Structure 1
Amino acid sequence: MERAILKLIMTLLLSFVNNTISYGQIFDFDREPPYNQIFVDTDNFGISYLDELEEGLSSITNDTIKLKVINDLAYYWHTRNLNTALEFSKKGILLAERLGNTQWEGRLLVTQGAILLRMENLNVAEQQLEAAKTKVIKEDLPFLNTQLGYVFERRGDLGKAADYAMETLRLGEALNDKWAQAQGYSDLSNLFWKQSKFKIGLKNGLTSVNLFKERGITDLDYGFALYVVGNNYLGLEDYTSALKYYEQSIVIGQRYGFYNNLADVYISLIDLYSFLGKFNKGEQATSSAIKYSQLLDNQFLLMRSWLSQGKLQNLQGKYISAIESLEQCLSIATDEFGDVFYLSQAYEALGKAHAGNHNYQEAYSAFEEYDKLEKEIFTAEADQRISLLQTQFEVAQKENTIQLQETKLKQQNTRQVFMVITIALSMMFLGFGYMAIKANRKKNKKLQEQNKEKEYLIKEVHHRVKNNLEIVSSLLALQASHLENSKLTFSLQEIQNRVYSMSMIHQRLYQDRNIAAIDMGDYFSDLGTHVLESFGAEERININYKIQNISLDMDTAVPIGLIVNELLTNSFKYAFPNNMNGTIGLFMQLENTRLIVLQVADNGVGQSKEEHEKTKGFGKQLIDLLVQQLGGKLTYEHTNNGTKAILKFSRIQP
């Protein structure tokens, strides 16, 4: 007990000492100027810095410094409470107008625009930012352009957002402003991440982080840059690196109380832990994301928190809970929400949740909305615009370097004319060599881009085919629900399973990195689970999988999937009558480098060879046709302990 009390006293004492030291670092009224501006002159303070700014405000007599402190209070309060931030911005604008200080009026309008856009008032925010353009000086434009970029990013206009990010970058180069340069690269990294261009997004993000390090100030935007780098690593499935950058961002957010950055990071951590299958940690991250979003009263972050929770619940198979979370997410996203990127993700996740819960009509509606939103955000125009801006900036940087070299050469002493001429000639030859190398690189880059574009188009085709097949499957399910004839209903269910087995092939091809082949282990596992659920046999029949690491091309995988679907269906129909319990084994292995053996065996009531040969149904005819298509051989073993189907066929290397 005494030890606990002593520990508490020491904690309070250290807190008091830290606060005292921090206050002294921000304000010193015996020096000129008395304000050591936060995140510009110093970052050596803790989470109580906003209270210290407010306390020091009453002692400031210089109007310009007072406006500077009010502006900092307004901007950094937006990381904790948007309403408080808005009140400070209004107070500062009124003071600047009364003093006739146009420059500070403009700066406070920019700050107010930054607050309003995070309060979902995008149109008013844009108006305030545009009004500020005529009032601020050139050095303030990078911050203004950054906020305008966020407005258009929230509206889903990524091309326009990229224009502003590049303008911030150009101004940063011209003004030698490391913050502006770092911020421009950070925003470009975020935009490339949204377009799933994770490699170039990571390159820009790491450049931003290095520039923030050179600047030597740990601030809000540095924390956001770390978060964006983590997102790109997550997109590249480098989970260890992603977690490292997220943790660094969390340290900054907790030190200074940046609730907005903390909410962002915890939302991404939900996705990271989902991919790793660490659902308990994902749920803990969900609680933190929702907590910080609610503290900030930011509907955008709260919507994304519910979205990530819904995606997590989908992966856990908790479809009813996922539907509730995603509907909560969409209820927050009002007509003014604007961000079609996250709205499209929400409808895609909702469609999956409804499909998992067999609500096929609702699933169809959600996927339809998802497709519409996806077309709005992932436009070829936005993609080309962002890539073009990046190229233009890189070319401009090279031209600036050449101009600088030419200026230095002109300043050489006249006695070095011969050396200058020699150097100029050398540079000319180097230039020709450089241009040749550059041309080759440009050709290679163009070929790589064409290959990526073709791969994207192929994946998009598979995506569309999968969606269309799911629509057909949903329509079959809807039709079956309106039939009273059980035999017809069962036939439609069988057709639905066949369509589903084909749709899964296309799903695998557009989701996996390898667009030429399908991993049969994962495919059979998903197919088996679906057939089990369609027969409602999850509680009484178990499927054992023993699948060697085999990948097959699409032309082979489709008939194999249909054959396995028919064999599983036959086992469910005939091997386990009267709700009998049982087991089905699904095995696939290579006997040599080319011959593949597939077995589907059940331990049901069995069927004699004569009974089997008498069967002339559509399913058996379909199997025979598919076996002929594969050039394989199918045999059956009939015993009192079940039936085993053995298919042997030659492998075509994908």
Structure 2
Amino acid sequence: MNWYERMLLLSGLPKIFPRGYFKYKKLIFKSILLLHLEMRNFFFVSIFLISTAGFAQIQVVNGFFQYQEVFVETDDFQSDYLEKLENATSEMQRDSILRLKVLNDLGYYYHTRNLNLALEYIVQGLEEARALGDEYWEGKLMVSQGAVLLRMEELELAEYVLNEAILKIPESESWLLYTNLGYVYERKGMLGEAFVYASKTLKIGEKYGDAKAVAMAYSDMSNLFWKQGKFDAALNYGLKSLEIFEERGLKDLDYDFTLHLVGQYMVDLDRPKDALEYFQHSVQLGERYGFYNNLSDTFIALANLQSKMENYSEANISGLEALRYAELLDNEFMIMRSYLALGKVSNASRDFLRASNYLETSIIEATENFGDKFYLSLVYEELSKAYEGSGSFQQALIATRKSDQLRRDVFTAEAEEQISLMQTQMEVAQKENTIKLQEADLSRKRILEVFYLTLAGTLVVFLFLLYRVFLRKKKYSTLLEKKNEEKEFLLKEIHHRVKNNLETISSLLTLQIAKIDDPKFKQVMEETYTRVQSMGMIHLSLYKEGNLKQVEMKAFFEALGRFILDTFDAEDRIDFSTEMSSLELDVDVAIPIGLIVNELISNSLKYAFPQQDSGQICVSLNERNGNLILKVSDNGVGIMENSTTKGTGFGSELISLLTRQLDGEMTLVNNSGTAFSFEFLLNRAA
């Protein structure tokens, strides 16, 4: 029995009001829990101030605020973190961007402890962002507002706010918006739409290298698979999500919730010991950071698991803990479910009087306008068991009827649709079977009448026709094979002659280069030489490998790299590598990609390693989600900011032209060297 339950019993209320005192228990619990929370916070804050005196996530240094964003730069989310942010906002200018950022964080992270207060801070931030005309922070705050409204069961309003924010948020940061929109549709039971938004989150995370977004997408997908009853797939995605969270190193609210989800999957896969470990880990994080909603959810799941394992004492403690955190959050939905969990535990342990008290309180918490009739039907179902167990059969019957009525309200339309569909399918199947039986009967009669007269003739005709078909197919196959051989020979000869012509052009260019004294003109001719040679190598590959339509790109890049290093006399100081698997592309795609890679390798050798420095050049080409991802990088000096274009600029224009030709996009990353990334639409390129 938990401490606050003992305090209730010591108060004498159960003896004075053996059934009715639970109607007033919410008010009593709130008073006791608030007192307990104040005492606990005083203790934690005292310890924290002693151990971390002089440190804060937000400080004033030389007249400027310095802010360490929680779960981005630090996971030091102690009991006084939000209090420090509250105090700091009063000292900040109302027109400062940092103030908007702090108000947004206050609202977002208070929703784990106090939904109403969270909404107040977000509304305050929205007013200031709109007064400043700052659309970006208006959008960010609207995303947080949608997340809070969602958890306050305001689904329609949350959906409206999140859709309004879409155009205000840059794509790279829109994954949190899509994640919360997915939650809205999940709560509405529209799992297909929810999965679409989880997929959008994953795509954005992969595109911008955002590990948190990818982890969130996998977590949400695992939850959706679980709701569809696909427990193995749910567990697989849940574990992938946890792995990414752990590699990221910041164990936040969403990591905690994913632990809870994986525990649920373990329960459904009949792995109670494993489930218990995940639940306990989730509880540790929730208690450390004050994630009340997650704690309530996890303790409800623990209560059900422990009751299933017949550990009723521990199950009761877990149910009371779920109720405590639901009360702290002031979330009626979680409070109602917590009382339901306690009632189920009491029924399982055959303490029917206590079960009926818990379940009656759950109904009071639900109120008359409670929207989730499914959970309410579960309460009345358990209440019927409790009344029956205590001998109150009339009340049990009333509760059963109420539960049945609520279930009919939830499932009537669906049941009628399902029955109608099944009935239609049965009628169609019966008619089809009748027709098939009649046709089979007529067929048997006809066969018996003509069988002896036509069998021999039919066999002769069949064998004759079969022989004629065989001869015709053989003749046609021989002719087709001959034509294919001729076409392959001609195509191979074309590639051979193109290769020879390109080699001739390369030789002419080599001779011309040797006679040029002007360094700039000589450089232009050398670049032209490498481009021609690059195309020639592709045709050589087609001719030698025997595949006349497709080029194996890994071998081609390796050969091209060796050729360019040899041309620049850099094979001893430059390490060239290809980080990719074997990949074949049509020649129409391979040639422009080969020219792009030729230009970028040549530029790296000319400009990235001055003074004949040593270094590395890496090329990779991979297929992902129907697209081609090309990356060419070096660890040279990088491209200086505001630097002027070196050379003639033709190479850059050629790369741009070829990229547009393949309907692609180019991204430049200038960090510890230079990296060019290209994304081409494979179908368009092909």
TM-score after normalising by structure 1: 0.54
Aligned counterpart, 2:524 = none
Partner of 1:37: 69
What's the secondary structure of 1:34's corresponding residue?
strand
Q: How far does residue 327 in structure 1 lie from its aligned partner after superposition?
A: 3.5
Per-residue deviation at 1:289? Answer: 0.8
How far apart are residue 50 of structure 1 and its match? 0.8
Partner of 2:319: 286
What is the one-letter code of the residue matched to 1:52? Answer: K
Inter-partner Cα distance in structure 2 for 1:380 and 1:20: 65
Q: What is the rounded CA distance, in whole Å, between the counterparts of 1:135 and 1:116 in structure 2?
A: 19
Q: Is the 8 A contact 1:120 1:336 kept in 2?
A: no
Deviation at 1:20, TM superposition (A): 3.1
Which residue of 67, 74, 85 maps to 1:53? 85
Kindly state the Cα deviation for residue 363 of structure 1 after the two structures are TM-superposed: 1.8
Distance 1:431 1:125 in 2: 46
Q: Secondary structure at the match of 1:20?
A: coil
Which residues of structure 2 form unaligned runs of 5+? 1-41, 419-530, 555-581, 585-686
Larger Rg, first or second structure (1 or 2): 2
Deviation at 1:170, TM superposition (A): 2.5
* Residues 1:198 and 2:231 are matched in the alignment: yes
Q: Which amino acid aligns with 2:332?
A: Q
Residue in structure 2 matched with residue 64 of structure 1 by the alignment: 97
Q: Equivalent residues in 2 for 1:22-421 (5 A)?
A: 22-23=55-56, 25-27=57-59, 29=61, 34-61=66-93, 63-334=96-367, 337-339=370-372, 342-343=375-376, 345-353=378-386, 356=389, 358=393, 359-370=396-407, 373=410, 417=538
Matched with 2:655 is none
- Do 1:157 and 1:377's aligned partners in 2 also have CA atoms closer than 8 Å? no
Higher RCO, 1 vs 2 (CA within 8 Å, ≥6 residues apart): 1
Deviation at 1:129, TM superposition (A): 1.6
Identify unmatched segments of 5+ residues in structure 1.
1-8, 382-409, 433-654
What is the Cα deviation at residue 372 of structure 1? 5.0
Check conservation: 2:115, 2:152, Cα contact below 8 A: yes
* Letter of the structure 2 residue corresponding to residue 42 of structure 1: T
Counterpart Cα distance in 2 of 1:12 and 1:333: 35
The question of whether the paired residues in 2 share the 8 Å contact of 1:156 and 1:339 is answered with no
Structure 1 295/339 Cα, relative in aligned 2: closer, same or farther at 3 Å?
A: same
Code of the residue aligned with 1:330 in structure 2: it is I
> Matched residue of 1:211: which SS?
helix
3-state DSSP of counterpart to 2:174: helix
Tell me the distance in 2 between the aligned counterparts of 1:59 and 1:270: 45
Structure 1 pair 13–77 and aligned structure 2 pair: CA distance change class (3 A): closer
Residue 328 to residue 10, structure 1, CA distance change in 2 (3 Å): closer
TM-score of the superposed pair, with normalisation by structure 2: 0.52
Change (3 A) 1:379 1:249: farther
Output the aligned Cα RMSD. Answer: 3.6
- For 1:135, the aligned partner's letter is K
Identity of aligned residues (%): 39
The separation in 2 between residues aligned to 1:160 and 1:338, in whole angstroms, is 22
CA offsets per residue over residues 201-249 of structure 1, 9 Å max, x none?
1111111111111222111111111111111112222111111111211
The aligned amino acid for 2:69 is Q
Q: Deviations over 1:341-360 (max 9, x none)?
A: 64454454345445555424
Structure 1 position 284, deviation (Å): 0.9
Give the Cα separation in 2 of the matches to 1:273 and 1:380: 38
Residues in 2 aligned to 1:191 and 1:380: alpha-carbon distance in whole angstroms: 24
Runs of 4+ in 1 over 6 A off after TM superposition: 9-13, 375-381, 425-428
- 8 Å CA contact 2:146–2:159 kept in 1: the answer is yes
Shift of 1:426: 7.8
- Secondary structure (helix, strand or coil) at the match of 2:149 reads helix
Distance 1:279 1:42, change over 3 A: same
Structure 1 residue 361, shift from structure 2 partner: 4.9
